[in-house]
Chain A
Amino acid sequence: MSENPILALLFSAIRLATPLLLAALGGLFSERSGVINIGLEGLMLAGAFTAAVTTHYSGNPWVGLLAAILAGIGVALIHAVACIRYRADQVVSGTAINILFLGVPALLSGAMFASTGATPQVPKEQLLPYAPIILAFALVPATWWVLNRTPFGLRLRAVGENPEAADTAGVNVARIRYAGVLLSGALAAIGGAYLSIGQSSLFTRNMTAGRGFIALAALIFGKWRPVQTMLACLLFGVAEALSIQMQGVSQIPVQFIQIIPYVLTIVVLAGFIGHSRAPRALGLPYQKKR
């Protein structure tokens, strides 16, 4: 690695932005289809935990990644059913998922490993330090293409803006929304998996530390568009990278440095929301009108 500190910072930012980007892109698919997904945090935790545990038992991180994706889809299915079929309040449902995954990993790991939430460490050869980064950034143009140049993307956007119009055009609104939410589960889970078997080598309790919400803020900041969301995630990545570097060097108490990403999120939401427009049907359960 080069001695150049700026380059090091940039590379660090990219690494740190990766889980945010994955979760944010997942959130993009869900929200563009009209379903708020506050549960990204819980989905990431689900992915992180599943990846760590499966890799530990199988010895193969790719298996771990696959298991994480399946877990993410499974958990997202709960959110999808609650919100689409039962028209539950989407924010409350997402919050429930988050709380669920504060508890479930600890419960299971307590039984499996007699720990208070951590999984055993995975040896270095069984980690995936680079693949998720490449995947995350490759997904940005892919997401743009899917959204704007494929029939699926067209229908997704329609369902998020005017589900009644899509319905009368013969589009199955529920099915598209399920697809959006399940995709968000898969992608967020990959983001979480990267945290436990890419960036570090084990799962610890609540290891996402709010990243799911920061990803959501990045999505809003990025106006629900792939490229802008990526830039927003990079911004947060830089902030986190800076905060880590400062912790070692600076005289400032560690607590103040730790809160930098969180304060930045608040500033972003306060400063830039005014100009973006969410998908019009976001957050509104769809019901055939009389």
Chain B
Amino acid sequence: MGLEILVCIKQVPHPDHFSEIRLDVDSGRIVREDIPAVINPLDRNALEEGLRIKERFSGRVTVLSMGPPQAQKALEEALAMGADRGILLCDVAFAGADTLATANALFYAIRKLGKFDLIYCGNETVDSGTAQVGPQLAELLDIPQVSGVQEVTFGDENILEVKRALEYGYMKVRLKLPALLCVTRDINRPRLPTVQSIMEVAQKEMVIWKAKDIGAPPESVGLKGSPTCAAGVYEHKAGRRREIIQGSTEEKVQRAVARLKELGVI
């Protein structure tokens, strides 16, 4: 019997276009139209890891996401990379979710899907970067979890050895399956879809579930299920002097050094 592997992914705006994201002062909304959407970079590493495990031990890779209808594109891309089926949680009831409400929605979907041996997440997303949903989901599922995963080694049956990053080093832990791992970019290099794998996408299973499909109580997901909420969004004011020093190379350097002295930092 093969392994049941789940990979949680999120569609995010392309990080190269973040400087184009603006705040509409009147509405207080974040303007992000026209910015291409991609699979969160570390979620690709998570998927790659899931695919490699499947190739080694056999099994099935399911990708799960929560988001607007267009997030189906991210799931299709995951299927093109080699995942076997995609599930999108898409419902207004899920909107406005903080990390706990997101973890709740994923939890109910997983409960409906059945048992998994391994769940992979990207360690954090590029948009909000909280790194919280993975560990929160693991708590709800009551399975062991590790963040910052750089390396995974399979030992005897159902035992993994995992290397996780610390500030100035690493920690190695051994853990029992089922488990949830949040991976970093060090773990692998994600593959690109092939012509063959892209053609296979149409034959693969893709479903869209609403809150009632997964039996999620309305008060547990979306805005209602979120203990935290946004009170406002503001442009980040750097508050810097922004003096551009003019002159020849020599003059520029001399003037800059003189300014540093005036400011008392050298």
Q: Are the chains A and B members of one assembly?
A: no
